[in-house]
Amino acid sequence: MSTLKLDNIQHPDAVSAALTFDSDGTMATATGFSNGGLKVKSSGGGTFSINPPSSASDRTLTLPDKAGEVVVGAGSVLQVVGANDILTATNTNSTSFTATTLAATITPTSASSKILVSATFSATQDGGSNIQSQVTIYRGATNLRGSGTCLFMYDHPGGNVGFSGTFMIYDSSATTDATTYTVYVKVADASSFFRAVAGTDTITLMEIAG
């Protein structure tokens, strides 16, 4: 076997080298792969190719400084988690927000990601008249709509009345730790009861690239 030893490869008409190598043999720079792309043989015997798109403009792709991270554009969906039929019957006449069992946990891949939270369920409101049921979503112990305010409201006309609600919110969790989102409910007056109906619920968490 013959060995060709050099530290750069350059076309005779070019002003700089297309390939340069460090003293340990690793490739330091690589330019000029204009049409054929870059093809690297993998340890498994196959090849991995990076091919440029058909473009009339110069483009730069900056890789993230993080092991295992995939390059995606802002707005791309990175992961989706959720659950169906996890809500147990919730009966409350509390005038302070009370946690239900409708919750899901997501571990963001990047602290710059956004989390789109959506939930739906059915319930009845019993007793009282012209009393509101209010629903919101908490991240951990934080109401995402601010203290005392809600995402969804039902104004009870009186008697025992059923209703359904679907609501969502776009959140900046600013973490890569496991994060739990939970649906909370309350009533405006303790003379009325909010009663969630089990088996009517869905919660979905979508991580969106920031």
DSSP state of 174: -
Q: Where are the domains of the chain?
A: 8-50, 77-208
Four-residue CA torsion sign, 169, 175, 176, 179: negative
pLDDT in tens, 145-180: 887 678 888 877 777 788 888 889 999 989 999 999
Closest CA to 127 of 183, 184, 200, 188: 188
pLDDT in tens, 42-58: 777 777 777 777 777 87
Q: Is CATH 2.60.120.1340 the right assignment for the domain spanning 77-208?
A: yes
Strand ranges for the chain from DSSP E: 8-9, 19-21, 27-30, 38-41, 47-50, 77-84, 90-92, 98-106, 114-126, 131-139, 142-143, 152-156, 160-171, 179-187, 193-196, 202-208
Residue 68 has pLDDT above 80, yes or no: no
The confidence score (pLDDT) of residue 158 equals 73
Calpha distance 22→140 (Å, rounded): 50
Contact of 182 with 142, CB cutoff 8 Å: no
What is the percentage of the chain residues whose pLDDT exceeds 70?
A: 80
